[in-house]
Structure 1
Amino acid sequence: MTISVSVRQVVGPEDAARRNTQGLREGFVIEALFQPGEVNLTYSHLDRMVVGGIVPTGETLVIDRVAETGTERFLERREAAVVNIGGAGRVGVGGRDYALGFQEALYVGMGEGALAFSSDDPAEPALFYLLSAPAHRACPTVHITREMARKVHLGSAEESNARTINQYVHPDVCESCQLLVGLTMFEPGSVWNTMPAHVHDRRMEVYLYFGMEEATRIFHFMGEPGETRHVVLKNHEAVLSPGWSIHSGAGTGRYAFIWAMAGDNMSFTDMDKVPMEALR
């Protein structure tokens, strides 16, 4: 078994403003995350976040040592969260097996050891979405169901953004060192996410869009408020968002997304809102 790792360097706002579409995608978009029988990781220099897709279709797939972290074991100085957006599967860690159904999550504390991923039915494999950030202390490993998630209802049908934010890795749900992870679902007819826009220079964020039809696309907006750009994303594509960038999008059809943050502040509401008239 091999682990594929790509590395993304930090892209500054001046650089991003000059990039064409391909340049923006190379700097921020993560494609082809979920490949049958493979472990695909992206190591971002934005708060050292690791974003991964794991699809077990036969043998158990294991993440133990990732050279890019510079440690003997992947979780030696890291915490992680795993969200399953596919068929039923299992994650083995710390001497225990955790069964993860669709849209269930597992928070894994620092120092827990190797991660082992398997699918209950290889014909309908689990799609494990992995997020990992550096940690300075160990927190308990917790299996998180959708029922356990803290639910926040935002937006309205009139604004086309009525949505429910399911906060999975959050201080009111489970303890973590710096990771915050959640899943946002939309009411029928609502297409806008994270609008009005905001930035939060104290932490980075990454979005994974999923639950989309083949022809559905997300127009994801990014960049400084006065220098916005956009990229077009399809199902199972992720996009990195630096602290200086807005991160908002609109879909041409039904979709959901998983958001994750790492950085200085654990408060979900720590954000600098951008007035609509400031967007350009």
Structure 2
Amino acid sequence: MENRYASHPREVKAFDTTRLREEFLIEEMFKPDQLTLTYTHVDRFIVGGALPVKGSVKLEADAKSIGAATFLERREIGIINVGGAGTVTVDGETYAMASKDCLYIGLGAKEVLFASDDGAQPAKFYLNSTPAHKTYPTVKAAISEASPNHLGSLTNSNERTIYRYIHTGGIQSCQLVMGMTLLKDGSMWNTMPCHTHNRRSEVYFYFDMPEDGVVFHLMGEPQETRHLAVRNEQSVISPSWSIHSGVGTSSYTFIWGMAGENQIFEDMDAVAMKDIK
């Protein structure tokens, strides 16, 4: 499991492109028959992916990394399938996972196994995990069961639908909030006008992009913006002090996960367009 440490905004002002990418971009999320994990000290988030092809992949991390005998001993996890059909088995109970299905697993689950229905079209399980203090039930939700919110307009190139899976009005959790945003054809901007939320951090995962597609993800303090060139199936760690917005060369989909002081989706500090630099 790779470790990433928290960075002060004063330091980030001086980062070059290479350093920005090293600190905030996760470039490879899926490796065949492996579990790929990145531990960030930003709100103790773990971001990862499982790509089962020939057999099942087990959710585990070495005890030294998380100080626990099992992955979910003191954690919760949200999983969204972005590939072919597959299954997640939690302590012997199997959940069928179609594309864009979400599964929440609460604190205390002992064994989690990822598998694909067809290795030729494998499932791709994207996951976010955060520390937890209470056990909530394991719950699965299809995208049709998520809470939709239609925003933006084609005129502003940001017509999109936000689907909330794990949130105060949906799947219950200790602190993890997780969902997905789908941009309509012809729309390329997300989260603009932008905002920050000093009470929690966020991780973005971009996918459903063409091979030559790029999203220019904007980050940094509102008056000190920087950008990352993000390709398909890559993630960006967004600290609480940073904006998190982007524009693509075509439409795309992204998964957002949040953790921190509260779970109120609307709790954000809006940034006026005139104040962005």
Distance in structure 1 (CA, Å) of the matches to 2:153 and 2:250: 17
Q: Aligned pair count?
A: 276
Distance in structure 2 (CA, Å) of the matches to 1:8 and 1:132: 15
Checking the alignment, whether the CA contact within 8 Å between 1:216 and 1:254 is kept in structure 2 is no
Equivalent of 2:108 in 91, 111, 126: 111
Checking the alignment, whether the CA contact within 8 Å between 1:219 and 1:230 is kept in structure 2 is yes
1:172 Cα deviation (Å)?
Answer: 1.4
Checking the alignment, whether the CA contact within 8 Å between 1:30 and 1:238 is kept in structure 2 is yes
2:271 match: 274
Equivalent of 2:192 in 192, 195, 220: 195
Q: Does residue 60 in structure 1 map to residue 68 in structure 2?
A: no
1:39 Cα deviation (Å)?
Answer: 0.8
Query: Which residue type is aligned with residue 45 of structure 1?
Result: H
Look up the SS of the partner of 1:240 in the other structure. strand
Look up the SS of the partner of 2:150 in the other structure. strand
Once the two structures are aligned, what percentage of the paired residues are identical? Answer: 48
Checking the alignment, whether the CA contact within 8 Å between 1:64 and 1:113 is kept in structure 2 is no
1:17 match: 13
- CA deviations 1:218-242 (Å, max 9, x no partner) are 0000000010000101000100000
Within 5 A, what are the aligned runs for 1:199-278?
A: 199-278=196-275
Look up the SS of the partner of 1:175 in the other structure. coil
Distance in structure 1 (CA, Å) of the matches to 2:2 and 2:84: 26
Equivalent of 1:37 in 22, 33, 36: 33
- Structure 1 length normalisation: TM-score? 0.97
> What is the CA RMSD across the aligned residues, in angstroms?
0.8
Look up the SS of the partner of 1:204 in the other structure. strand
Checking the alignment, whether the CA contact within 8 Å between 2:184 and 2:251 is kept in structure 1 is no
Q: Does residue 46 in structure 1 map to residue 42 in structure 2?
A: yes
Q: Which runs of 5+ in 1 are unaligned?
A: none
Runs of 4+ in 1 over 3 A off after TM superposition: none
- Larger displacement relative to structure 2 (32-41 or 206-215): 32-41
1:174 Cα deviation (Å)?
Answer: 1.2
1:60 Cα deviation (Å)?
Answer: 1.0
Look up the SS of the partner of 1:92 in the other structure. strand
Query: Which residue type is aligned with residue 264 of structure 1?
Result: E
Query: Which residue type is aligned with residue 81 of structure 1?
Result: G
1:95 Cα deviation (Å)?
Answer: 2.5
Q: Does residue 168 in structure 1 map to residue 165 in structure 2?
A: yes
Distance in structure 1 (CA, Å) of the matches to 2:112 and 2:18: 34
1:249 Cα deviation (Å)?
Answer: 0.1
Query: Which residue type is aligned with residue 188 of structure 1?
Result: D
Equivalent of 1:77 in 57, 74, 86: 74
Distance in structure 1 (CA, Å) of the matches to 2:272 and 2:250: 26
Checking the alignment, whether the CA contact within 8 Å between 1:148 and 1:173 is kept in structure 2 is no
1:141 match: 138
Distance in structure 2 (CA, Å) of the matches to 1:181 and 1:154: 18
